[in-house]
Structure 1
């Protein structure tokens, strides 16, 4: 049996299943209620129950006193609905409202998705969570004050374990470590979330998503978040690579297109050896999108990939396809020489309102 929950003052409404916490239900359906630990210890998710009944669950008396409960307050990471509810809580609207944290994380799983792409899953401490918007990134903190930035590839509601897609840069201080010596249960420290590249949920315009290589990571987070919140917006995803191996999660993207109403997926390769059978599109990924969408005046566009691809997409979508400039959101990946360590390392370049990411 489920319950209907309305949020004031926004008037947003969502459904909560029996014994599901209010926060979990809200995040699952795309509402960014504030939270910190998701464990009942920090009080960041505290709000007021205006009407209806809740079960306070594992909320600690030290954080939510009996007087607080009688006054109608609740910790939404612990409380579950016992009836339809009206609650009072602020909702986070922009990246500036999210708390930036420095946290430890343990390597939970390493998956070689392609010869030069590693999927890294990081497990946070049981008492900590990271609240972020779909598309943002974190900085991995290294010795000597150095840091490497990587997109979060998982949706915000699935925040117990963070997923990164890391491309190997030969000679790179961090990526060499990831591909040669990193192992399960290793510890890392990171800082985040960061970046203004994230899904704008206040729009109902159709979305055009364009990814190159590991630029798929934040696009994956955006798609999975849109699926979780049951968006009714049309989504078209173009993912490009030099060869088939660069589309390292191709079955997943194909599955989205099969199962999600209103979603289309177009893979594009720029270099197809004669020995490789390929019946899909060939050429530059943003050019393929332009062929199918000569008029983008009514769209919202998210682009993530190399600096050249992002720059070309911005120039051509805005200049030739009538895309409003304020509806273009992008992240750029660039590789540069780290003179301090005399090695190739990942460095971020801001192209147009992006987060800083190294792929």
Structure 2
């Protein structure tokens, strides 16, 4: 059975099968609903059901608390309609400009830049290119139909190869392979580009770029893309880690700060040891933003990294710094462990 979904306030309509999620149907129809993880962990696809009802597939309670669900709030990546629906969602212009493709790739290089981070580059087949927006991600298609998502760290202007920053998650299906048996020239298949986390280029508002860990990867793509476009927008990067080695491309960020008058870099560390001899900022990275910029009402924020950092920033920036909800763009890096909580 096929149901009709109407999106407000745009009035756009699309068809959804009775065993299909709202997000999957919207993507198939070219309707740009916001999304990130697609598995009920990050809450990027959250919206409201105005008319009709849905049943949710398994998801994290943190992403959709019971009190919100009782008010009609829904995670569209997990919501299956029980009939025709009217939903409320903010559509993302340009999210479907580039078609999602399945492509083979060859591992070009594997560079270990920290004890738990490898930068992997992928070479596409001859005469093939991947068109994407700075900030988007790809999904590796693994055995048994499983998938793993990684943000593109290279800007769309860069010719091949594509660059990805991969953190080792001990016991992880894919990262154990990357850190042990994967080698140069191996073939990997992926699908992409995906996600609605990308720079909005129709604004000239100053940007706060907020990253933790390998959440730096899509932020790097955004900075390098804007630089290639000759953008003069003000950018301030706050990159958080536990200890200095977590800021595995610190030298590059400092180079940007020296070369780009409109770019500022603020590294922040939270779990220092005496032998680190750190003279910089300490504490939680989103709190460093709040200390420097108590009024965010005229800014855009792009946040990427651990879900707890993204969630805290979204809540605190709105409540305490006046950031408009629609100017907070995020990609929470959910792991298999996050999904199964």
TM-score by length of 1: 0.68
- 2:95 is the alignment partner of 1:95: yes
SS in 1 for 2:296: coil
- 2:160 is the alignment partner of 1:147: no
Aligned to 1:218: 218
In the TM superposition, structure 1's runs of 4+ consecutive aligned residues that sit over 6 Å from their partners are none
CA distance, structure 2, for counterparts of residue 348 and residue 265 of structure 1: 35
1:178-219 Cα deviation digits (max 9, x unpaired): 000111100000000000000000000000000000000000
Aligned to 2:6: none
Aligned to 1:109: 109
CA distance, structure 2, for counterparts of residue 93 and residue 307 of structure 1: 25
Once the two structures are TM-superposed, the CA of residue 262 in structure 1 deviates from its matched residue by 1.2
Once the two structures are TM-superposed, the CA of residue 348 in structure 1 deviates from its matched residue by 10
- 2:229 is the alignment partner of 1:229: yes
Aligned to 2:334: 334
Once the two structures are TM-superposed, the CA of residue 96 in structure 1 deviates from its matched residue by 1.2
Alignment check: 8 A CA contact 1:130 1:159 kept: no
CA distance, structure 2, for counterparts of residue 336 and residue 105 of structure 1: 24
Aligned to 1:209: 209
Aligned to 1:240: 240
CA distance, structure 2, for counterparts of residue 225 and residue 196 of structure 1: 16
SS in 1 for 2:252: helix
CA distance, structure 1, for counterparts of residue 180 and residue 264 of structure 2: 37
Once the two structures are TM-superposed, the CA of residue 335 in structure 1 deviates from its matched residue by 2.5
CA distance, structure 1, for counterparts of residue 214 and residue 247 of structure 2: 9
CA RMSD of aligned residues (A): 1.6
Aligned to 1:196: 196
SS in 2 for 1:334: coil
- Which blocks of at least 5 consecutive residues in structure 2 are unaligned? 1-91
Aligned to 1:179: 179
Length, aligned pairs only = 250
CA distance, structure 1, for counterparts of residue 335 and residue 100 of structure 2: 25
CA distance, structure 2, for counterparts of residue 347 and residue 170 of structure 1: 16
- 2:307 is the alignment partner of 1:315: no
SS in 1 for 2:335: strand
CA distance, structure 1, for counterparts of residue 318 and residue 184 of structure 2: 45
CA distance, structure 2, for counterparts of residue 170 and residue 153 of structure 1: 22
Aligned to 2:292: 292
Report matched runs for 1:62-81 at 5 Å.
none
- Which blocks of at least 5 consecutive residues in structure 1 are unaligned? 1-91, 338-345, 350-359
Quick check: 159-168 or 99-108, which moved more?
159-168
SS in 2 for 1:180: coil
Aligned to 2:158: 158
CA distance, structure 2, for counterparts of residue 154 and residue 200 of structure 1: 17
Aligned to 1:77: none
Alignment check: 8 A CA contact 1:148 1:347 kept: no
Alignment check: 8 A CA contact 1:257 1:265 kept: yes
CA distance, structure 2, for counterparts of residue 159 and residue 210 of structure 1: 26
Aligned to 1:258: 258
CA distance, structure 2, for counterparts of residue 118 and residue 142 of structure 1: 19
Aligned to 2:35: none
CA distance, structure 2, for counterparts of residue 157 and residue 122 of structure 1: 15
Structure having the higher Rg: 1
Aligned to 2:46: none
SS in 2 for 1:252: helix
